[in-house]
Amino acid sequence: MSNNRVSRRQFLNYTLTGVGGFMAAGILMPMVRFAIDPALQTKTDGDFVQTSQKVADLTEEPVKVDFSYEQVDAWYTSEVTDTAWVYKSGDSIVALSPVCKHLGCTVNWNSDTEHPNQFFCACHGGRYEKTGKNIPGTPPLGPLDAYEVSEKDGFLLLGKKIANNLV
């Protein structure tokens, strides 16, 4: 039997500190977690949306790529389908929004026979160069918006709408 015996008082002190410590930790831990929670949340891939377009199939010629995502308006969730004009420029991929900067019609690539290789808006004859730059003298006042572009497993991902950085 060892000589340094634990007195009743010491024993009670140790057990109470131990149990009290656990209880305090049990209360404090969730509070701390709640306080720093936004910092712990994992970002879901920067809000990129998967498309069915293979990156390897892209060429210099713009193609229409549809992509859909869920949009929440208050309590109402709806699936929205959007379109982008996507092409390769050198090694980088360019994705342009088809929404005309004039009054919001949908522009098409190469649909005006008099002005080939341009984006054309059938509403008021607005035209854009391949880079999305608006052609002076036509109604639009700014270049087409672009989408953030990424790649995953060979498929194209489209992100947020950004200002056109090619012009």
Partner 1 sequence: MFFNVNDVKQFQSQKDFIDTALVPLLSLEFEDERIKQSSSAADFLMSLTAFVEQQFKGRLMLVPPFSYTKQTKAGLPVILLKEELQNAGFKHVIFITNDHAWTSDSEQVDVIWLPSIPLESMDKGVRKTVLEEQLKQIIPILTSKWFQS
Residue (123 or 166) nearer to partner 1, CB = 123
Assess 121 for contact with partner 1 (CB under 8 A): yes
**What are the tokens at 57?**
């199939």
Asked if residues 86 and 63 have their Cβ atoms less than 8 Å apart, the reply is: yes
Interacting residue with partner 1 among 49, 50, 87, 105 (CB under 8 A): 105
**Choices 15-23, 29-37, 100-108, 154-162 (CB under 8 A): range interacting with partner 1:** 100-108
What sign for the dihedral angle of Cα 166, 97, 60, 119? negative
Q: What's CA 149's distance to the chain center, in Å? A: 9
The SS3 of residue 11 is helix
Element (H, E) at 53: strand 49-54
Q: In terms of CB distance, is 124 or 160 closer to partner 1?
A: 124
Residue 81 binds partner 1, judged by CB under 8 A: yes
Query: Cβ closer to partner 1: 84 or 121?
Result: 121
Q: How far apart are CA 128 and CA 119, in angstroms?
A: 5
**By the rule CB under 8 A, 47 interacts with partner 1:** no
Backbone Cα Rg of the chain: 29
**Binding segment toward partner 1, per CB under 8 A, in 1-9, 13-21, 25-33, 122-130:** 122-130
Question: How many residues of this chain bind partner 1 (CB under 8 A)?
Answer: 13
Contact 130, 96 (CB under 8 A): no
Query: Which of 59/81 has CB closer to partner 1?
Result: 81
By beta-carbon proximity to partner 1, the closer residue of 100 and 149 is: 100
Residues that bind partner 1 (CB under 8 A): 66, 81, 100, 102-106, 121-124, 139
